[in-house]
Amino acid sequence: MDLKPETLAEIEAAIPKYPEAQSAVMPLLHAIQKDQGAISNEAAEWVAEKLGIAPINVLSVVTFYPFFRQHKIGKRHIRVCRTLSCAMAGGAKVCDKMLQEFETELNAVSADGEVTIEFAECLASCGSAPVMLVDEDLHENLTVEKAKEICDKIKAEAKA
């Protein structure tokens, strides 16, 4: 693994904090994702070897938790909720508008590298549906028009 020295130091500091090495899987994955942008199969195997566990035990964590990614994303990460409340309130139309504005496809990095748009299973804001996260900022009570405004703001920030 080609990790930054500070990432390796973070990993080495994390392992002794746990009574069993396998308990350090998530902190190690977070550190690697922060460093590399995603968790590759090579990274999962590296973590498994580092902790003395089977690679499947690492991959099961990577695939279970939605905050771990196996593919790189754009500079801005947009997650549109698709569960029942958001779907009924127009979440798919909001998502379609975002995809149209950034000329990209779902789960892909836009051509300019600026955004990745994905569906999220639940963003825990059903009362203000539809909702989406742009990076860590929650946007509520969305309409197609509000989605366009958010797109315009992201585009303006990218140019700045």
pLDDT digits (tens, 9 = 90+) for 76-121: 999 999 999 999 999 999 999 999 999 999 999 999 999 999 999 8
Whether residue 155 is contained in a domain is answered as: yes
- In this prediction, residue 89 carries a pLDDT of 97
Does the pLDDT of residue 132 top 90, yes or no? Answer: yes
Cα–Cα distance for residue pair 126/71, rounded to 1 Å: 28
Cα–Cα distance for residue pair 60/38, rounded to 1 Å: 15
Whether residue 69 is contained in a domain is answered as: no
Considering the domain architecture, whether residues 81 and 154 belong to the same structural domain is answered as yes
Looking up residue 24, the CATH number of its domain turns out to be: 1.10.10
> For the chain, what is the domain count?
2
pLDDT digits (tens, 9 = 90+) for 28-75: 999 999 999 999 999 999 999 999 999 999 999 998 887 899 999 999
**Contact at 8 Å (CB) between 98 and 134?**
no
Looking up residue 140, the CATH number of its domain turns out to be: 3.40.30.10
List Cβ neighbours of 102 (8 Å cut-off, separation of 6 or more).
Answer: 110, 114, 115, 117, 151
- In this prediction, residue 34 carries a pLDDT of 94
Considering the domain architecture, whether residues 97 and 153 belong to the same structural domain is answered as yes
Considering the domain architecture, whether residues 14 and 56 belong to the same structural domain is answered as yes
Place of tokens 């779907």: 87
> Residue 98 corresponds to which tokens in the numbers above?
């975002």
Domain span at 49: 5-64
Considering the domain architecture, whether residues 53 and 107 belong to the same structural domain is answered as no
The radius of gyration of the chain's CA atoms, rounded to the nearest angstrom, is 18
State mean pLDDT over 120-127: 91
Considering the domain architecture, whether residues 53 and 82 belong to the same structural domain is answered as no
Please check if 81 is assigned to a binding site.
Answer: yes
> Residue 105 corresponds to which tokens in the numbers above?
């496809």
Cα–Cα distance for residue pair 5/82, rounded to 1 Å: 39
Please check if 95 is assigned to a binding site.
Answer: no
